[in-house]
Amino acid sequence: MHLVRTPRVFKSRPTRLVAVAAAAAATLIPMLVMSSGAATAGTYHRPKPTIVLVHGAWADSSSWSGEIARLQRDGYSVDAAPNPLRDVSFDAAYLKDFLSTVSGPIILVGHSYGGAVMSSAATGNPNVKALVYVDGFAPDTGETIGALSGADSIFAPAATDPTSVLRLVPYPGAAAGAVDTYVLTNLFITKFANGVPRRQAAVLAASQSPASTGTFGPFPGTPAWKTIPSYYVLGTLDNAITPDAQEFMATRAHAQITRIKAGHLGLITQPGAVTNVIERAAKERG
What mean pLDDT is reported for the chain?
Answer: 89
**pLDDT attached to residue 144:** 97
Give domain limits for the chain: 50-285
Q: What are phi and psi of 241, to 5 degrees?
A: -120, 110
SS (H, E, C) 37-102: HHHHHHCCCCCCCEEEEECCCCCCHHHHHHHHHHHHHCCCCEEEECCCCCCHHHHHHHHHHHHCCC
Strand pairing partners for 54? 81, 110
Strand pairing partners for 128? 106
Residues with Cβ within 8 Å of residue 225, at least 6 apart in sequence: 119, 131, 138, 253, 254, 255
**pLDDT attached to residue 96:** 98
Question: Which of 257, 235, 240, 187 lies closest to 56 in space, CA to CA?
Answer: 240
pLDDT of 168 over the 90 cut? yes
**pLDDT attached to residue 39:** 38
d(CA 54, CA 60) in angstroms, rounded, equals: 9
pLDDT digits (tens, 9 = 90+) for 173-229: 999 999 999 999 999 999 999 999 999 999 999 999 999 999 999 999 999 999 999
pLDDT of 6 over the 80 cut? no
Classified as helix, coil or strand, 145 is helix
d(CA 51, CA 248) in angstroms, rounded, equals: 26
Strand pairing partners for 58? none
The pLDDT of 69-89, averaged and rounded, is: 98
pLDDT digits (tens, 9 = 90+) for 145-162: 999 999 999 999 999 999
Strand pairing partners for 50? 106
d(CA 226, CA 219) in angstroms, rounded, equals: 14
pTM of the model: 0.85
Superfamily of domain 50-285: Alpha/Beta hydrolase fold, catalytic domain (3.40.50.1820)
pLDDT of 273 over the 60 cut? yes
